[in-house]
Each structure stands twice: as structure tokens, then as C-alpha cells.
Structure 1
Amino acid sequence: MSFKFHRILPFALILAACGAEPRYLIDPPVQSGTSRLQVSTLEVMDVSLPAYAEASEILLEGEDGALTQVDNALWADDSRRAVTLAIAEQIGRASSAAVAPEPWPLEEDAQAQVHVSVSRMVARANGTLSLDGQFAVSSYDRVVRERIQRFAITVPMASADPAGIAQATGAAIAELSSQITASLSR
């Protein structure tokens, strides 16, 4: 029995050490107002992120341009899931439409879909966070005009620590959500 204990102990110690890193939420500020959209239902497709932005580690760009992990800091949720949910929630709160992430939960299909492709989501050495890419609006029944729109969002970071990076990430996602909402407004 002691043989099994000695084999299990190193794994238990490794697992215990893994749980000690603080985790940070991508939590955009609450949007206010109610925009009337051209659609009553909108599906937000899974956001496409670069591989480094999908990682669980919180990264910061150095002076040399290298992205390095901020010590002992992880995202609290899968980045793709967190960004997708945040966009859906922000548009839903700021508009008259019923908005949900994929898979669409209702029996009748959504009138339109938003596809977001992020090409850059970086906490920069200069104290800003950059969120660049494009979003596409598609509508099977042509309820709205289909289009592709580019975005380049830069927000200041209050600090280069994990909390500052998380706060700036949330603010950038809120700005992106506002741009998508504005593009669908009547």
C-alpha cells in the first residue's frame, strides 16, 4: 500500500500547485441604452481568436515585441467562450434583439448571425490593449444587408498587471460590441 502512496504523492503535489494561480475574468462594463436593431434575433458565432489569445495564460508584450506570461495569472474561463459570451451579452443588453451565442437555443433560426475574427488581442508594452480584426453580418433570409466590417480598437490599461489587462480587455470587447450594435441599428 505504501508503494501506491509514493507513486500518487508527486501527482497530488503537482495538482495542488496548479490551483494556486489567481484567475481573472473578462468582464466588460455594462452597456446602457436600448438600440432598435434591424433584426429581432441575433446569433453570435464562436469568436475566432489567434492561438496566443486562446491560451489560458495572460500575456503581456515586452519592449522587444515578445509576448510573455504575466507571473501567476490565468484567465478564469476559456478565452474563446468568454469573448463570445461577452459580445452576446453586451449586444443583448444594449439592444432590442434577443441575442445568444451559438448554438442557437430557439426553435426558429436567428434572423442574422455575427461572425467575429480577431487578428490581434494584445496587451502592449506602451500601456494599451489592442483588439483588431473584422466582423461579418450574415442573414440567410436577407433580413439585413450582409457585410464585413473591420475594427481596430485601442484602450488604455490602468496598469500592466493581470487586473489592468483584464479590465482593458473587457473595455475593448465592450467597444467592439457597441460597433456591432451600431452597424445593426435602424
Structure 2
Amino acid sequence: MIKRISLLAALAFAACTPEPDRLALAQLDSALELRPLVSSAMVRTVSLPTYAAAEEIAVETGAGLIASNTEVLWADDPQRAMTIAVARNLGDILGIDAGPEPWPFLGLPDVSIDVRVERVLAYADGTFRLSGQFYVGGDGSDFRNQSRAFAISKPMPDLSLPSIATAQAEAVLTLSEEIAKTIGR
């Protein structure tokens, strides 16, 4: 009986706790247009560091530590959101069938893209940094396997959440353009 009352009290308390606000990754369009070397590309799920894969928005503190905002969360799973953004950007830039893993089309894609992020963070100095490495490989095509390191930095007017979301979207768009240059001209 006591367990039942404790469970009911916990559920009642949880129902009174307001849901945190959600912030969506901004969507930006590229002015870059390239002629594709392939007709299709699959973006594997983007690999993010633990702090960036969480719903909480991470920011570097002045002391060099990473703090998370628990009052405002990302609107979507960060890995999913970044994967979809890269695929959408590649499709727009190259005019090809680009999609996330699992591959949503029939047959195999001409290439697959694997993005491994080492750092994706808003810094106390007013910059947003995205760095890591991406790999482009031909899945049964004659496309030459390639790997490239990337280090992208975007200025932010302040450390507000909208500034962070916009800077992150700009960094993801720049990364998408770098990837597009490896599979287009």
C-alpha cells in the first residue's frame, strides 16, 4: 500500500513539472550548386560526442568545462537531426537522391558518407566549432574512397540559444558543402 501511494505521489509530482522548451536546429539553404559525380548518396548516422548526442544543449563555460542547459532541449535527437540536415543539404547542392541510413530508396546508393564528429560546441569566446572527419566510400561503384578532416568555426553574436542553433546550422551547412565538393564539381 505504501509503495502504491509513493508511486501515485511520484506520478502526481511528475505531472505538475512543466515540460522543458524545445529548440530546433535551424534549416539553411546553400547557394552552392555542383555537378554530381554520383547519382545517389546515403548519409550514415552522424556520430557525435556524448555531450552533443544528448537532448541538452551543451555550452563551454569560461573555465573550459562543458555545461548543459536542462531547461531548453533540442527539438529532435541531435544525431538524427544532423544526419537528416546533411542528407537534405547534399540533395539540394548536388541535385541527387540523398538520404539517411537506413537507405530509403530501392537498390544501393552510389556512395555512403560516414561523419565522425570530435567536437561540436558553442564556446564562451563566442565561436561555434564543429570538427572531425568524414569518409566517402563507393558501395559497389567505381567511386574512389576518400577521407577528409574538417574544422569549422562560426562566430556567434552572443551565447543565446537562438545564436547557438543558427551557428550550428551554419556549421552543418558548411560541412555539407565540403562533403558535396568530394562527390561533385
TM-score by length of 1: 0.91
Cα distance change on mapping 1:138 and 1:4 into 2, 3 Å: same
**Is the 8 Å Cα contact of residues 39 and 143 (structure 1) preserved in structure 2?**
no
Distance of 2:120 and 2:140 partners within structure 1: 33
- Amino acid paired to 1:13: F
1:160 aligns with 2:159: yes
Aligned to 2:168, what secondary structure does the other structure show? helix
Q: CA RMSD in A?
A: 1.9
Aligned to 1:175, what secondary structure does the other structure show? helix
- Listed as ranges, the matches of 1:48-87 within 5 Å are 48-70=47-69, 72-87=71-86
- Amino acid paired to 1:40: S
**Is the 8 Å Cα contact of residues 35 and 184 (structure 2) preserved in structure 1?**
yes
TM-score by length of 2: 0.92
- Amino acid paired to 2:174: E
Deviations, residues 49-97 of structure 1 (Å, cap 9, x unaligned): 0011001100110111101123611101101000000000111111121
- Listed as ranges, the matches of 1:1-186 within 5 Å are 7-19=7-19, 21-70=20-69, 72-186=71-185
- Amino acid paired to 1:14: A
**Is the 8 Å Cα contact of residues 108 and 139 (structure 2) preserved in structure 1?**
no
- Gaps spanning 5+ residues in structure 2: where? none
Distance of 2:6 and 2:179 partners within structure 1: 56
Cα distance change on mapping 1:16 and 1:115 into 2, 3 Å: farther
**Is the 8 Å Cα contact of residues 56 and 70 (structure 2) preserved in structure 1?**
no
Deviations, residues 3-31 of structure 1 (Å, cap 9, x unaligned): 96774243233244251x21111123112
Cα distance change on mapping 1:50 and 1:41 into 2, 3 Å: same
- Gaps spanning 5+ residues in structure 1: where? none
**Is the 8 Å Cα contact of residues 58 and 74 (structure 1) preserved in structure 2?**
yes
Cα distance change on mapping 1:71 and 1:7 into 2, 3 Å: closer
> How many aligned positions are there?
184
**Is the 8 Å Cα contact of residues 28 and 173 (structure 1) preserved in structure 2?**
no
Distance of 2:13 and 2:105 partners within structure 1: 45
1:32 Cα deviation from its structure 2 partner: 3.2
**Is the 8 Å Cα contact of residues 32 and 177 (structure 2) preserved in structure 1?**
no
Aligned to 2:31, what secondary structure does the other structure show? coil
